[in-house]
Amino acid sequence: MQSFHGSTAPPQGKADFGTLKRFLPYLWPRAEPALRARVVAAMVLVIMAKSTSLVMPFAFKGAIDRMAAGVPDGIQIAVALVAAYALARFGGVLFDNLRNAIFERVGQTAARRLSQDVFAHIHRLSLRFHLERRTGSLTRVVERGTKSIDTMLYFILFNIFPTVFELTAVCVIFWIKLGPLMVAAVLVMVVAYIAYTQKVTDWRSKLRREMVDSDNKAVARAVDSLLNYETVKYFNAEAHENRNYGLAIKRYTDAATKNEVSLAWLNIGQSVITNLMMAGAMGYTVWGWHQGRFTIGDVVLVNTLLAQLFRPLDMLGMVYREIKQGLIDMEAMFGLIDTPQEIADAPGAPALVVTGGHVRFSHVEFGYDARRQILHDVSFEIPAGHKLAVVGHSGAGKSTLSRILYRFYDIQSGAVTIDGQNIAEVTQDSLRRSIGIVPQDTVLFNESIGYNIAYGRPGASQAEIEAAARGAAIHDFILSLPDGYATQVGERGLKLSGGEKQRVAIARTILKDPAILILDEATSALDSATEADIQSALGMVSQSRTTLVIAHRLSTITDAEEILVMSAGRIVERGRHEALLQAGGAYAEMWTLQQAEAAEEQALAAE
């Protein structure tokens, strides 16, 4: 399994162009001519804005020359030129803001589509990937990558392109007005500026990577600690968590400090280059004015043109830095998109067609890791509408069966079929639509009770939601709450008790109405009284459905048509409850032990 920091990411040094090239389709969508028209319109406005800014120095020069000449009737022309100068400045601002207004939808649409693509791909990745990733770090990668989109769009289209256009125009003007020597000086300055900026920014990019990595780890540490808030409290580990978070934050602040110091050196070097050019150009034009080659207006013209060129050049340094940093962030996000799906539908896979729900495991061999096998030659079947229970000590491989049936993992050999169709050859969506599960640990969304029940079948009516709640014997409890079905359950459903959460999970499964039902130790964490109530609800849900029960308490599965006893990934016994007790094997031993524990609990309760 390759992580998104693995070999699927673009090689360093080649990632910049490749990452940018992958991003361009979001900027120029083939199926959206309206958006492409907005891009074209925005670029036309960019050219118009730059053109008006290039007119301003000439208007300023003309006004200065008229004033310097001292011609009596020249005042009207000088005033007109000043007015033209002001109008050109306003035109530049107008065109820039119109450009932003027209282009905004393009940028937002590109960001939305890319973030949706990433989000959808994350959900397509396997359970193994999500178990190995830290949620905080993963969300940080997506957040940074998405935020960098808008920045990169504006910098590339509205800073780099206009700067190149303006530089070309300034060189043409200088060639005509000042000669090739000044053009050569400007080009040398620009090349030196870009070379220095690139070299220092590449150095800063390494520091940026260190800072980003430290930030990811610090956020992941904080999120992991807060998600396990109860565990921290149980073990009085606040000081330990604070110490670990402090170390993570210190690594980040050290990296951030180095990053800011490097920024100071970059700005100093850029200022040296641009001010040397300004001093040389102004000295040359003043000397030319003294020689009678240039007018005072030419001095102003050169000063204004260079000042205007330096502004985007100063921005260019920041733009290059931001693009490099954005590419780092987007590289990580595209690397996430490139993470291969461990579990993927076969090309042209058909949908599963459930006619009865007959489940069959045939000689299944499976291991989460190639070095450690979990299931050994497991074979059993559950006829349509029947109930099969699986029991065994922890680590026997019971819950692995449900994960395989859901196809969270692919088996190494053997086959799993539903109504004769191999689950590896049908679409995952159709497979999972046909299966419902009530897990041991029900995790709810931080939403209302009604939302969590409706998650079983999005789009269900309120009447259907309430009918499902009645089936799970939780409707009356919900109505007794001040906000009824709008009651918020809190993060992971922590505002509800274990039994209440289980009933919500049952109601959600009833609403889904699956042909195949999995009860994965659904009552093992509950007290005896609550378990009896939940068991009654589960019994009603499992009627007429093919049911796989993974049980801890044997008293809950005595009515199963067949019981499998697993040990170390193998089926060691199978049969009905009475037959297994008479056999006097592992099941009978487990039964005797649990009955003794139950009797002891009753005796203690009676005292």
Per-residue confidence at 131, pLDDT binned at 50, 70, 90?
low
Examine the fold and report which residue of 317, 338, 359 is the final residue of a domain before the chain moves on.
338
The domain spanning residue 175 has which CATH number? 1.20.1560.10
Query: What number is the average pLDDT over the span 428-434?
Result: 90
Burial class of residue 21 (count of CB atoms within 10 Å of its CB; 0-12, 13-18, 19+) = exposed
Q: For residue 492, is it within any domain? A: no
- Structural domain harbouring 426: 345-434+548-607
**Rounded mean pLDDT of 110-117?**
78
Distance between CA atoms of residues 322 and 153, nearest Å: 11
Judged against a pLDDT cut of 50, whether residue 170 lies above it is answered with yes
Domain boundary among 313, 338, 363: 338
CA distance 397 to 570: 8
CA 187, 190, 194, 195 torsion-angle sign = positive
d(CA 143, CA 139): 6
pLDDT interval class at 578 (50, 70, 90): very high
Q: Domain check: are 21 and 154 in the same one?
A: yes
Q: Which of 338, 356, 376 is the last residue of a domain?
A: 338
Mean pLDDT, residues 74-102 taken together: 73
309 assigned to some structural domain:
yes
| pLDDT tens track for 480-524 | 988 899 988 876 567 788 778 888 888 888 888 889 988 887 665
275 and 397 co-located in one domain: no
* 111 pLDDT higher than 80: no
Separation between Cα atoms, residue 503 and residue 468, nearest integer Å: 10
Residue 527, pLDDT score: 60
CB 405 within 8 A of CB 471: no
Count of structural domains within the chain:
2
- Let me know whether 310 and 399 are in one domain: no
Tell me the pLDDT tens digit for each residue of 296-329.
877 777 877 887 777 777 766 677 767 777 777 7
Is the same domain home to 356 and 284? no
The answer to whether residue 449 sits within a structural domain is: no
| AA identity, residue 351 | A
Q: Cβ–Cβ contacts within 10 Å for residue 295, how many?
A: 17
Q: What is the pLDDT of residues 253-288, one digit of tens each?
A: 888 888 888 888 888 888 888 888 888 887 888 887
Q: Is 127 domain-assigned? A: yes
The verdict on 324 and 367 lying in the same domain is no
How high is the pLDDT of residue 345?
86
* Section 568-592 average pLDDT: 91
Terminal-to-terminal C-alpha distance of the chain: 56
Least confident among 146-155, 170-179, 421-430: 146-155
Which residues lie below 8 Å from residue 351, measured CB to CB, with a gap of 6+? 426, 427, 429, 430
Whether residue 364 is found in the same domain as residue 327: no
Q: Are residues 383 and 316 in the same domain?
A: no
Would you say how long the chain is, in residues?
A: 607
What CATH number corresponds to the domain at position 391? 3.40.50.300
Which residues pair with residue 519 across a beta bridge?
Answer: 438, 549
pLDDT, residue 74, reads: 54
Beta-bridge partners for 413: 365
DSSP output for 327-349? HHHHHHHHHHHHSPPSS-PPTTP
Both 40 and 159 in one domain: the answer is yes
Residues 166, 304 share a domain: yes
Would you state the pLDDT for residue 382? 93
Please indicate, yes or no, whether residues 308 and 413 belong to a single structural domain of this protein.
Answer: no
Distance CA 18, CA 156 (A): 15
Residue 90 within a domain? yes
Confidence grade of residue 525 (pLDDT, cut at 50, 70, 90): low
Alpha helices in 28-134 (DSSP H): 33-69, 74-124, 127-132
- Is 521 among the domain residues? no
441 within domain boundaries: no
CA distance 117 to 337: 8
Tokens found for residue 476: 């009356």
In a domain, 526, yes or no: no
pLDDT at 422: 94
Amino acid at site 494: L
